[in-house]
Structure formats: C-alpha cells, structure tokens
Structure 1
C-alpha cells in the first residue's frame, strides 16, 4: 500500500475535488472532508461527511477518526486546507454575529486547529501543509470583510506554523480566479452589496477563469517534491511555470 496520506477539506467539488483526484493519481491515500455524503473516488479514498463550521462535530471527528493510531501505517502525512466560505457578503454593518462565527470557524479556526492537531498527532511524519489562499488575503474587496479577514489570518498563521516547525513545509497558495461553483455565487451577487461583481463576470465572459485541474496539479506537485528551503512559501497559480 501507499505510505503517504493527505487530508483534504472540501473534496466534493471544485478545487478540492481536483486536488483529491490528482493526489490519488499520484499514489496518495486521501482522507477527504465535505458536507456532502456518499463521495467515492475509489479504494484509496476515505470520506468523512462533516460540516467543518460545526466545532462540536469537529471535536467528535478528532476523537473518532483522527487518533494517532490512524497515522501509524503511513510514513508521510500532508494537509490541504481548501474548504472555505465567502459568506457573509455585504457591508459589515449588515453582518449577523452567527454568520461571522460560522465563517470564522470554517475559514480560520478549524484550518488552524487541523494544522496543530496533525503536528501533535503525527510529529515528524507531517511533511507538508497547503493552505489555499486568495487575492483577498492581500487587498480589500468591498463586501468581503469576513472573507478577506479569514484569508489574511490563514496566511499569517501559515508563516507562524512554518517558523515554529522547521522540519515542515508550509505553502500559502493562491489558485487564481477558478471556474467553480463559488464563482457562480460571486456572479449572482447584487452589485449593491458586492461592487466588484462585474469584474468577476467579465473574467467569466472573456474565458479567463482558470480550470481547477491546473492549480490542483501545482498543489500536488508541491506535495510530491522533496524538502526545500525556505520552509514557508507563498505563490500564485502560474508563478512557477
């Protein structure tokens, strides 16, 4: 059997699905997480149906499915924090506390916790972490205060995780504006609450959206590569071609 395991959040569709399929092609075992049930990509794929914004469910998952014993048969473990949400959208004065809490759980709290928990459980077996980032981590988008804050926080935490663990490689990766269901949501927003909607609609109409299998290949290439310094990297789709 393969001696390598990657945990990927958000494997039921979009970029997460493509990363999963590419990793399987490269001989990885995949433990995937998504709200959708009955996700099956073959015998090397193991699915956990879960709402990662529900901290009670995440704690239960850790106790039942992420014990140290689960990782004993693998020589190397990796993590891809891909799942996230752009909601709530609109000016901050319209945001509800429960929606901000849910977004922060999914975009910040659980990704950070997974990084720490896997390092604690796997030790030196944890070789690579990829945190899916966005241009929203670097620049403000009106209507996306929560999403911008989440991606910015995750990028900062990625740097800290690498600084604290020199034996571990951490990548903050921007896949570009990719052709997924999330982009369909963006194009459907009312421009009164998301003034940048037209920019994303124009990218779609002019055929400039990135097919998700292309950045997925870059992510898996990072997982497959040997250890490199510096152990923290941040780059965008196409930067390394």
Structure 2
C-alpha cells in the first residue's frame, strides 16, 4: 500500500478526529491542526493553533509541510475546521461574530491553501479537500454567515482546481453529522433558527450520521480511481456511481 500524507484541520474532535484516526490506522502519515490536542491522538504530529489567528497560519503550514515524510506518494490538505456561529437572523449578528465566522469558515481555509500550495509546489500529486455544507448551496434562515462562508469556500475551490494542473481540489458537503456543532444547533431558539425542530428530530429519530461513518465515506471518496474526474462540488450522500 502506498503511504500518503494528510494535513487535517479541526483534528481534535468530530469528523477531523475520526478521519485522522482512520487514516493513521491505515498506515498513512497524519498531521493534525486544532486549538487543543486530543488525549487520544494517534497521528504523526499535532500542531496546536487557533485558526482565527490568521497571522500564524503561514508558520503553522510551514511546520506541517516540513514534517511530511519523503516516502509520501501524495499529500492532501483537508480543511475541516469550521463553525456554525452566529446563529440568528442577520440583524442580530454582531460584527465581531460575523468576522470570526468568515475567518474560520473561509479566510483560514484560503490562507492554509495558499501556504500549502507554496510549500508543496514541487509535488506532482497533491490535493485539497474542503469540507463544505449543503448550507453553502441553498439559503437557511438563521445561518446567513455560515451559508455565506461555505458558499465562498465552494467558489474558491472551483478557482483552485482551475488554476493548478498539479492539484486536485474538491469541496464536499458531508451531510448532517452527530457532532458538537449539531448540539449547538439544537440549543438555539426557534426565533433564531426556524428549522430547529427538524434538527431535533434528526437526532431523536437517529438520522444523524456518525463522525466515524462520515470519515470512512471521505476516505472512500479520496481513494476512488476516478477522483480526478469527479465534479469539484460534491455531496457525500449523492456521489456518482
């Protein structure tokens, strides 16, 4: 089996941690980035950094790229970190909360991608997998900042994929996952998020995917023989056969 290197943001919990564990268990090199290191980290390297600190991203990525094994036959950046905050109609969203949302959901992935591209320019097999959301492709009342950030991430990904011949970039909506983000959504009020009961029902009726199943699906996606021919914008629940 070929060994690949993966740089994964938001690697301390949820999808990011599950993806890191599964890839590491398969013998791949995993470099995680998040605000705090999980106690059950199994990857090769963990870099502690708050991605809203944009000024430190170049240094973080330089450290990650420097650690990539010379034996790695491919290198992949997975921009997974994100936030659904602020939840509420647009008039209720404060400037600092909007700025933090856009920074984490869009500016940080863009900055990480730029630094990744600079650090891996000699690689002939590199990928960027951005974790997006269906909310970036349709309006959701109460999530204007989140929707805008993910829509921007989608379009940024199409630009990346068009700009570089030795890069494959995709933006993947993973579905509705049973993570801390979902807990925060269920805690919101109907006045801030009119679809709240739907999301509570997803949990009570067992319709949420687990982080582990989602991570497995992402790995299967990245291992597809036709990965480079797939559309740039993908939904993990609706992949072409």
Match of 1:114 in 2: 112
Match of 2:159 in 1: 160
Which string of whole-angstrom CA distances, capped at 9 and with x for unpartnered residues, describes residues 120-171 of structure 1? 1112345221111111011111111100001000010111110111322222
C-alpha deviation, 1:234, in angstroms: 2.4
Instruction: Supply the RMSD in Å over aligned alpha carbons.
Output: 2.2
Alignment map for 1:128-143 (pairs within 5 Å)? 128-143=127-142
Which string of whole-angstrom CA distances, capped at 9 and with x for unpartnered residues, describes residues 72-122 of structure 1? 623321011100001111122222221111111110011011112111111
1:51 equivalent to 2:57? Answer no
C-alpha deviation, 1:193, in angstroms: 0.9
C-alpha deviation, 1:58, in angstroms: 2.4
| Whole-Å separation in 2 of the counterparts to 1:9 and 1:221 | 19
- Preserved contact between residue 39 and residue 47 of structure 1 (Cα < 8 Å): no
| Whole-Å separation in 2 of the counterparts to 1:229 and 1:180 | 29
- Preserved contact between residue 158 and residue 171 of structure 1 (Cα < 8 Å): yes
| Whole-Å separation in 2 of the counterparts to 1:229 and 1:32 | 24
- Preserved contact between residue 128 and residue 223 of structure 1 (Cα < 8 Å): no
Match of 2:102 in 1: 104
| Whole-Å separation in 1 of the counterparts to 2:58 and 2:106 | 16
Match of 1:211 in 2: 210
Task: Count residues in correspondence.
Answer: 238
C-alpha deviation, 1:59, in angstroms: 4.1
Match of 2:193 in 1: 194
C-alpha deviation, 1:233, in angstroms: 2.8
| Whole-Å separation in 1 of the counterparts to 2:108 and 2:26 | 27
| Whole-Å separation in 2 of the counterparts to 1:72 and 1:237 | 29
- Preserved contact between residue 61 and residue 112 of structure 2 (Cα < 8 Å): no
C-alpha deviation, 1:39, in angstroms: 4.2
Alignment map for 1:1-241 (pairs within 5 Å)? 3-42=3-42, 44-62=43-61, 65-66=63-64, 69-71=66-68, 73=70, 74-123=72-121, 124-226=123-225, 228-230=227-229, 232-240=231-239
| Whole-Å separation in 2 of the counterparts to 1:216 and 1:114 | 21
C-alpha deviation, 1:218, in angstroms: 1.9
- Preserved contact between residue 158 and residue 232 of structure 1 (Cα < 8 Å): no
Q: What TM-score do you get using the length of structure 2 for normalisation? A: 0.89
Q: Which runs of 5+ in 2 are unaligned?
A: none
| Whole-Å separation in 2 of the counterparts to 1:206 and 1:227 | 35
SS of equivalent to 1:173? strand
C-alpha deviation, 1:182, in angstroms: 0.8
